[in-house]
Chain A
């Protein structure tokens, strides 16, 4: 499968715990994006990378959130001291870096904070 993959697909954690999600983009894509989707809403942009450089972060991304893409390939999104409001679907997407904007999405990681 050459699509975007995300792991884990589901994560249940207790409030206050740290969690980390992984995204593997399509191999030839140099841009990688993270979005968050809550029930009944469209995905909201969190951050994106071009190669290993993090180019933009949304104000939604509090200090408890950090994302990395150390070698310009896979990316991780870590949430520290999780809160119940962090419960959501976390989506990763990648693109080939052209200006046309088409992004290819992974299946998402569903986070439930108890």
Chain B
């Protein structure tokens, strides 16, 4: 069965710190990958996506992710986090019509 694994369940950072959230996905099928974010009290929304091409993908709000095929990884990065980045982040793989979510990482940014 397809699966997605996120390395960190809960991350606490101070403002301006750099962020990297690890994600590994299982082998097989089409490699369409996403990061979704859920801000407190809001819907899940798309942060960025990778289908093919340049393995460094840029998303909204200064986030980027790097697809490394040999490592089955799709890590999320941001050079300098802000308090408003406090949210839950999900690494997601598309699999024949449905999305496979990782368990999520809660990011808390201290002002």
Contact = CB atoms under 8 A, between A and B. Distances in A.
Interface of A: 3-4, 31, 33, 35, 40-45, 48, 55-56, 91, 93, 99-103, 105-108
B17 interface: no
A42 B101 contact: yes
Contacts of A4: 43
Interface of B: 4, 9, 30, 32, 34, 36, 43-46, 49, 51, 90, 92, 94, 96-104
A69 B43 CA distance: 22
Contact of A45 (B4, B36, B98): B98
Contacts of B32: 99-101
Contacts of B92: 42
B interface: dominant SS: strand
Contacts of B45: 105
Nearest to B106: A40
